[in-house]
């Protein structure tokens, strides 16, 4: 086993292995290949891939997979996070926030993958600089770009945030996250054209390496056992995506997929919240029970969906389509979904490999004390309504 792979596995402590990636520089732009209908079929040609970021969460999985498929990877970032990873990979240091792009000048790659931009000016700087020296630009956006998630099903045709829709004046210093990402997408398209730009809009990315704990809360909470506060009645749909499924598909699409805009959530058929929680419980051996608590009650008790109750968002009040995306197009283009059991096991293994200070408290979800407080209030309310 190589030093690179040992370091990667130490970081993620993931179960399951990796697989692979590929693309062209300025001398090849005039004769770009015709991309196949289903990415990843056949052996990919070796590509030179520049990853902007590459050291946090989604990046390491992309690097590992790309290298396993024979691609040459270069990382560009500030050189501050996980610097021990991938000692055999070329690393360029700079900072898009300050406009320090000197390390990219005079170089060429087949593909640039932009993982780290949260500000459209960052994309403007890097995309315009690379437009004549990179074959394709891959931008990782977000489901949050959609201004209207009431549609069923959701597709890329749904309207995205604009200054007008967000009620924000152009030139404002602080932009809402969804608007910022929508504007960043446009910067990439303007620099590379629609025929050389791939935009991915993932939902909540989960799995080994995730330090936000927005999904991790549930496997850890179920693993702890006992009475578990579960939100709603269990029927609200959930669509999320394992970081490995997303990263591997992105690499295959970068190799030979069509240009365009794509959603990235899973599974293809939305999973109800009760199926998610019972599926997670099937991976653990701890005794536990779920107490389903009414959505309106949770809101009145100050328990916020998607924050104190991670993953869950009631399918109402304009969010009817939030987890009802039509993924048929993306599945036809090779997006696959590993089992919930795999994701849960890998997440738990990663979590328990972290230092104790990162395991408790979690960064998302209810504390044990707050959960018991809400459950006690629910019991009193429920019994009162029944007249017990």
Within a domain: 329: no
**Are 372 and 256 part of one and the same domain?**
no
Please state, in angstroms and rounded to a whole number, the distance separating the CA atoms of residues 40 and 20: 9
Asked if 247 and 313 sit in the same domain, the reply is no
Q: Are residues 257 and 313 in the same domain?
A: no
Q: Domain containing 120 — which CATH number?
A: 3.40.50.720
**262 and 305 both lie in a single domain:** no
Domain total for the chain? 2
**Statement to judge: residues 8 and 61 lie in one domain:** yes
Tens of pLDDT, residues 195-216: 999 999 999 999 999 999 999 9
Query: Which residue positions in the chain have pLDDT lower than 50?
Result: 1-36
233 part of a folded domain = yes
**Mutual orientation of helices 3-12 and 58-68 as an angle, nearest 10°?**
150
Query: pLDDT value at position 388?
Result: 57
Peptide bond into 267 cis (omega under 30): yes
Cβ neighbourhood burial of 296 (10 Å; 0-12, 13-18, 19+): exposed
Residue 347 lies in a domain: yes
- Indicate whether 164 and 43 sit together in one domain: yes
Residues 229 and 262 placed together within one structural domain of the fold:
no
User: Residue 385's pLDDT is what?
Assistant: 64
Answer whether residue 333 is part of any domain: no
Residues 9, 153 within the same domain: yes
Q: Residue 120 has what pLDDT?
A: 97
In a domain, 42, yes or no: yes
- Domain encompassing residue 55: 3-209+240-268
pTM for the predicted model, two decimal places: 0.89
């Amino acid at each position: 086993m190589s030093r690179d792979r040992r370091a990667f596995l130490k970081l993620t402590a993931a179960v399951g292995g990796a697989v692979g990636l590929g693309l062209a520089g300025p001398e090849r732009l005039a004769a770009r290949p015709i991309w196949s209908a289903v990415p990843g079929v056949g052996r990919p040609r070796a590509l030179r891939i520049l990853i902007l970021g590459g050291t946090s969460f989604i990046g390491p999985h992309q690097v590992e997979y790309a290298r396993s498929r024979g691609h040459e990877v270069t990382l560009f970032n500030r050189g501050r996070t996980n610097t021990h990873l991938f000692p055999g990979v070329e690393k360029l240091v700079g900072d898009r926030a300050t406009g320090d792009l000197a390390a990219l000048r005079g170089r060429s790659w087949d593909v640039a993958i932009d993982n780290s931009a949260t500000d459209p000016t960052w994309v403007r700087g890097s995309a315009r600089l690379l437009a004549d020296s990179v074959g394709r630009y891959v931008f990782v956006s977000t489901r949050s770009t959609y201004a209207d998630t009431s549609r069923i099903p959701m597709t890329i045709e749904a309207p995205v945030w604009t200054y007008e829709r967000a009620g924000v004046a152009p030139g404002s210093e602080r932009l809402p996250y969804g608007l910022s990402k929508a504007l960043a997408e446009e910067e990439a398209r303007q620099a590379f054209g629609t025929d050389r730009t791939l935009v991915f809009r993932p939902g909540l990315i989960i799995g080994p390496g995730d330090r936000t704990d927005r999904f991790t809360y549930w496997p850890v909470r179920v693993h702890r056992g006992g009475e578990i506060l579960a939100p709603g009645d269990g029927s609200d749909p959930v669509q999320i995506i394992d970081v490995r499924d997303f990263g591997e598909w992105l690499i295959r699409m970068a190799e030979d997929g069509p240009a365009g805009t794509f959603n990235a959530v899973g599974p293809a058929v939305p999973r109800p919240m009760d199926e998610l929680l019972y599926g997670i419980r099937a991976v653990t051996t701890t005794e536990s029970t779920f107490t389903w608590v009414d959505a309106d009650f949770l809101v009145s008790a100050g328990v916020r969906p998607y924050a104190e109750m991670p993953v869950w968002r009631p399918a109402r009040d304009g969010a009817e389509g939030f987890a009802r995306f039509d993924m048929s197009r993306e599945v036809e283009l090779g997006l696959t979904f590993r089992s919930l059991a795999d994701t849960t096991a890998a997440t738990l293994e990663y979590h328990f490999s972290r230092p104790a200070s990162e395991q408790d408290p979690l960064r998302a979800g209810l504390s044990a004390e707050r959960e018991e407080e809400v459950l006690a209030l629910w019991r009193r309310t429920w019994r009162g309504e029944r007249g017990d």
